[in-house]
Structure 1
Amino acid sequence: MIPDVRTSYNRQFTPEQYQAFLEGIATDTGVTPSFRIAETPVFVPAALSSKLVQACEEIVEVLLRPDFKTITQDAIPPALKVPRENEHPHFIVIDFAVCKTATGELVPQLIELQGFPTMLAFQEVMARQFKTHFDIPDYLNNFFNGLDETTYYELLRDMIVGPYAPEEVILLEVKPEEQKTKIDFYSTEKSLGIPTVCLTELIQDGKKLYYLRNGVKTPVQRIYNRIIFDDLQKQSASLGEHVNLFQDLDVEWITHPNWFYRISKYIMPFIHSEYVPKSWFLHELPVIPADLENYVLKPLFSFAGQGVLIDVTQEDIDRIQDPENWILQHKVKYAPAIATPTGPAICEIRMIYIWQDGAARPMLVHNLARISKGKMIGVGFNSKDTWVGGSCCFFEQPA
């Protein structure tokens, strides 16, 4: 998206460089990625960088509302509430589509947001390997707020591990070896020293949790949570005996599971920004738009068993029995903004925030990108294409 950088990168690219880049990732993490990594990063021009940061900060202002917990009290399904919720999430990820205005100006449009961690460790590995194997201009940066590789991990270590011994803090997931994101688990273990533990390996004694480390019963003081609880609910019966995480347990959560629901598309109707598509709770919609072809219908909760309706009709709306669990959102049109040797591509940019205990507001630290040439964005799609997949951004700093 920075024309001269893009032209130079495409011209100098070789398949051998790309292969060496992938091998560098595998060597660094100790595992081969289980999803496709794109041949290129995303080069974000200063004007778009500025708009992305502005959009994020406008969303953060909503999270800082004194009544935020009140307006999101119905966001957490009653069956999925977990005790001991803290005052704010430790992680926030905000996903934007890159779009164009009628005059050709690149602008972000909010797609989704979550109070949940993303691939915090692996994204740094990927960016570093891009810089190692390709010519990335020095004035472009993958970090924000003055961070670098060293201070970024210091920040993560301080927030995730904190005052505890690393073996007393676990990355918790269900069947971690089967997850597509397992490369991040390996990177986290390497950078922070904390183990990855499957839910089925936890041992409960009263309100305390333990796991076996080299045969030794080891206490769990903190859980760096990577479990999505509605997915857990679906799988629970097939997991065999395991600890019930919905009970009151003597453990700290980084971040607490309830924030996954509080900070989600549920809050989109509360956000008023030129970079956030107009959204309404379906049961509060004042009038059904005549141009429904310009809207999408989204279920608030993924476990509802129904997906996003892209081509909305009046009949679709009439069929919905629980309108309070749906939002109608103005449709976002992705721009083919990335020129690749095999044709233009679209992309999403994920802005990654952390919120330390005691901090007045969250801080923007890093990013993630997804590049696609099809209708769907995500590392599970377009597997037959090239120059698509998971990636990262290098930002030109605003003037």
Structure 2
Amino acid sequence: MISQYRKKFNQEFSQEKYNQVKEYLKQKSGLDPVFRISESPLFLTKDFEAKLIDASNSIIDQIKALPPDLLQKAVPDNCRVPNDTEKPHFFTIDFGICKNENGEAEPQLIELQAFPSLYAFQRVFENAFCEIYPFLSELRHTISPEDFKNHLKDLIVGDENPQNVVLLEIYPEKQKTAIDFVLTEQLLGIKTVCLTKVKKNGRKLYYENNGGLTEIKRIYNRVIFDELDRIPDLKTEFDFREDIDVKWITHPNWFFKISKFLLPLLQHQFVPKSYFLHEFPETEDLKNFVLKPLFSFAGSGVNLNPTKEITDTIEDKQNYILQRKVEYAPIFEDINGDFSKAEIRLLYIWHENSDRPILMENLARMTKAAMVNVDFNKKDAIWIGSSNAFFAEE
């Protein structure tokens, strides 16, 4: 999209440099990423960045204007956690990178979440690109490393001793995002704890630490609550729905409140029209829409080509949406002259005393398949997988 940087990167690219990027990540974390790392970043214009920010600001304004009781309706009764908060601590927005009818690049909203993403990893990933390709440093994100760390520390650790703050996940060592957990530990001085290892005494939670038990006062939550029921023979000492003496960062209810549930309620030129399945009008054509379960994660359950036969068999239609299809634009040229498509996720944090969230970093995903998910890509493809976007003047 920015020819000078794309041309320079492609000229400088080599398999050796790609390996150096991955080795940089391994040296910083001690782990090999188990998800695919793209060979290339995205190069996007400042004009495109302005469109992203305009759409995001509009979405944030619309969400802030929604009645709290409406958002509460998104939380399933069997997943409701006590001591909810007025706002989420994390806020991420995914946009597909498309072209309009005039051939101009524009974002189209795909989904949004109030759930932590790879904040620590993406900053290190950006550093890796800049280290191996020094000319990228002039495009580096404007938040300094010190401010980046301080923002996350204020949000997640707050005034507590880091040893009383844990990153909570279920079987964290088995998660694809384990590399982010390690980098978060390094950044904030907290520990990652498996949900099955948490001890409970009355209203207080503890974890084993240096041969003893340490109280947990704040939880940086990375558990997808509604997925716990799908884990066979899961044994834990506490239930999310219990009233416990802990501060959630972010509160689990927000996973449901800021979700696909909101898509039919939002309006903007970069927000594709969406309907709840049970409210889908007969005047619309199913072939123009994608079927999505409200609370699926990482693209599970998405049907790109729904039919009436499929939708008629769904009993809980209120838990599905139909979102107008958008066509990702193949505009990111690789060294062979082939083109990848991509989507970009904006990673915000939201301090409790702030009126608006702060944009911290971005995450990009590249593909040559129908869905932006590395599992759908051919094994020998390049310019696919997890990436990072840089913005510059044309």
How far apart, in 2, do the equivalents of 1:265 and 1:302 lie? 9
1:349 match? 344
What is the match of residue 76 of structure 1?
Answer: 75
Q: Which residue of 2 aligns with 1:180?
A: 176
User: Is 1:43 aligned with 2:43?
Assistant: yes
CA contact (8 A) 1:64 1:361 kept: no
Give the TM-score of the pair, scaled to structure 1.
Answer: 0.94
Give how far 1:138 is off.
4.3
SS of residue in 2 equivalent to 1:113: strand
Structure 2: how far apart are the matches of 1:19 and 1:326?
A: 41
1:278 to 267, 273, 285: 273
Conservation of the 8 A alpha-carbon contact between 2:264 and 2:274: yes
Contact 2:195 2:236 in 1 (8 A): no
Decide whether aligned partners of structure 1 residues 133 and 139 sit closer, same or farther in structure 2, where only a CA change above 3 A counts: closer
Count of residue pairs the alignment pairs up = 391
Match of 2:363 among 349, 360, 368: 368
Report what 1:295 is aligned to.
Answer: 289
Supply the distance in 1 between the matched residues of 2:382 and 2:196 (Cα, whole angstroms).
Answer: 38
**Counterpart contact for 2:130–2:137, Cα < 8 Å:** no
Structure 1 residue 52, shift from structure 2 partner: 0.6
Q: Take 1:91 and 1:397, find their aligned partners in 2: how far apart are those partners?
A: 29
1:316 corresponds to: 310
SS class of match (1:212): strand
| Distance in structure 1 (CA, Å) of the matches to 2:15 and 2:253 | 44
8 A contact 1:49–1:397 mirrored in 2? no
Kept in 2: contact 1:9–1:135 (CA 8 A): no
Q: Deviations over 1:43-92 (max 9, x none)?
A: 1111111111111111101221151x222222111111111111100001
- Runs of 4+ with deviation above 6 angstroms: none
Check if 1:216 corresponds to 2:212.
Answer: yes
Following TM superposition, by how much is the alpha carbon of 1:101 offset from its aligned partner in structure 2, in angstroms?
1.1
> Pairwise mapping of residues 210-249 of structure 1 onto structure 2 (< 5 A)?
210-235=206-231, 237-249=232-244
Instruction: Give, as a single letter, the amino acid of the residue that structure 1 aligns with 2:116.
Output: P
Q: Residue deviations 1:171-191, cap 9 Å, x none? A: 000000000000000000111
Deviation string, structure 1 residues 273-317 (Cα, Å, up to 9, x no partner) = 01110011122234341x3221112222339x9822221223333
Check the 8 A contact 1:116/1:260 in 2, yes or no: yes
Percentage of identical aligned residues: 44
Q: 1:281 to 1:66 in 2, by over 3 A?
A: closer
**Per-residue deviation, 1:140:** 1.8
Taking the aligned partners of 2:186 and 2:136, their CA distance within structure 1 comes to 28
Distance 1:17 1:306, change over 3 A: closer
Name the structure 1 match of 2:30.
30
2:248 and 2:165 mapped to 1: Cα distance?
10
Structure 1 pair 126–306 and aligned structure 2 pair: CA distance change class (3 A): closer
Q: Distance in 1 between matches of 2:371 and 2:35?
A: 15
In structure 2, distance between residues paired with 1:76 and 1:136: 46
Following superposition, the deviation at residue 136 of structure 1 comes to 3.5
Q: What SS does structure 2 have at the residue aligned with 1:6?
A: helix
Distance 1:306 1:339 in 2: 28
Q: Which letter does structure 2 place at the counterpart of 1:107?
A: E
Root-mean-square deviation over aligned CA pairs: 1.8
Q: CA deviation at 1:321?
A: 2.4
- Aligned equivalents of 2:154 and 2:303: distance in 1? 42
| C-alpha contact (below 8 Å) 2:377/2:384 kept by paired residues | yes
* Cα distance per residue 1:215-237 (max 9 Å; x no partner): 121010100000001111211x4
The worse-fitting range, judged by mean Cα deviation, of 172-181 and 334-343 is: 334-343
Structure 2 residue runs without a partner (length 5+) = none
Q: Is the 8 A contact 1:294 1:330 kept in 2?
A: yes
**Shift in Å at residue 95 of structure 1?**
0.6
- C-alpha displacement at 1:17, in angstroms? 1.2
Counterpart residue type for residue 202 of structure 1: V
Q: Aligned to 2:301, what secondary structure does the other structure show?
A: coil
Contact 2:197–2:236 (CA<8 Å) still a contact in 1? Answer: no
What is the deviation of 1:355? 0.3
- What is the one-letter code of the residue matched to 1:22? K
**In the alignment, what sits opposite 2:13?**
13
Contact in 2 for aligned 1:119/1:184 (Cα 8 Å): yes
Distance 2:311 2:168 in 1: 39
